[in-house]
Amino acid sequence: MGFYEEISPYYDDIFTAGEEQLRFIADTAGLPPKRLLDVACGTGLYSVKLSQLGYDVWACDADAEMIRRAKEKAESANAGVRLFTADMTEPGFLKEIRPESGNDPEFDCIFCIGNSIVHLKSEDAIRNAVRQMKALLADHGSLILQIINFDRVLNHEIRTLPTIRNDEKGIIFRRNYEPDSSSGLIHFDTVLTLNREEVPLVLNNRVDLFPLVSEQLRCILNDAGLGMTEFYGDFSKARFDPDQSFMLVAVARQV
C-alpha cells in the first residue's frame, strides 16, 4: 500500500480547503460557469467546493484511493465533478482527460497546488507536465501552480515545515527536508501520528522532491509558450520574496 493511499482516510483531517485558495482560483478563472481542471486533486477538497460554486470541474490524481474518496465526496455533495486517475509521472498523463465525444477539452483554468508538481523528479519531467497542461488551456486561459519556496529552503537551509495538528481528531503531521547532494533532490520525510487509540499509530514516509526554484519555474512557463506570468508569496497575492516567502504561487496565461 502506497503512503498516499495509506493516509487517504485521514487526508481531510490533515488538510482543509482554505478560503484564500478558493478565492484565488475563482478570481483567476473568472465567474462561473468556467471549465476548471484540478491536477493532483487528492480527495477533491477544492474540486467539490468549486463545483458547488457553479464551475464545470474536472479533476485527476495519481492515487486511485484518493479518486475513490473524491467520488464519494462529490456524490454526497451532489457536485458534478468529473474525476480521473492520472499520474503526472507518466509522459502522457493527461491523455485520459477526454469528454464523451473524444475531443480534447479546453479549460479556462488549470491548477496544480499543494506542492504537487515537484513530486516529479526532474526539470524535464516538470516541463513535460506543464506543456501538457498548457495544451489543454483555452484562449486566455490560466495555469496556477503552487509550490514551497525552494529559493528560501535552499538559501537558508530550511529543514522543517510547520507541524500540522488537529487536536480534535488526534492527528500530528510532521514534515522534514533532507537535501541529497548526490541526486540534487530533497528527501521529504513525513511522520503522521494518530492518537485515536490507546497505542498511537505512527506512519512514516519518504518521497523525493525536485527543488524547483523561481527562475527555473519562470523559464519552464516561458518555454511552454505561456505569458503574463505573475509570482505571489501566498494566495492573498502578497509580493513574492525569494528569501522570505513561505510559498510560491505562479499564474501564467495562454496567449
Band the pLDDT of 3: cuts 50, 70, 90: confident
- pLDDT exceeds cutoff 70 at 26: yes
- pLDDT exceeds cutoff 70 at 98: no
Reading the block at residue 241, the C-alpha cell is 520574496
What count of residues does the chain have? 255
- pLDDT exceeds cutoff 90 at 75: yes
Instruction: Please say whether the beta carbons of 47 and 59 come within 8 A.
Output: yes
Reading the block at residue 155, the C-alpha cell is 538559501
- pLDDT exceeds cutoff 60 at 167: yes
Band the pLDDT of 102: cuts 50, 70, 90: low
% of the chain exceeding 90 in pLDDT: 85
CATH topology of domain 3-151+211-254: Rossmann fold (3.40.50)
- Mean pLDDT along residues 156-182: 96
- pLDDT exceeds cutoff 70 at 234: yes
- Mean pLDDT along residues 23-33: 97
Enumerate residues 6+ apart whose C-beta is below 8 A from 56. Answer: 32, 33, 34, 35, 36, 80
Least trusted range by pLDDT, from 5-19, 28-42, 203-217, 223-237: 5-19
Instruction: Please say whether the beta carbons of 86 and 61 come within 8 A.
Output: yes
Which of 121, 127, 120, 150 has its CA nearest to residue 231?
150
pLDDT for the residue numbered 105: 80
- pLDDT exceeds cutoff 70 at 9: yes
Reading the block at residue 189, the C-alpha cell is 520525510
Enumerate residues 6+ apart whose C-beta is below 8 A from 152. Answer: 158, 242, 243, 244, 245, 246
- pLDDT exceeds cutoff 80 at 189: yes
If DSSP codes are grouped into helix, strand and coil, which group holds residue 103? coil
Enumerate residues 6+ apart whose C-beta is below 8 A from 212. Answer: 117, 118, 123, 126, 147, 150
CA distances to 25, 40, 112, 218, 253 from 145, rounded to whole Å, are 11, 11, 5, 11, 12
Band the pLDDT of 111: cuts 50, 70, 90: very high
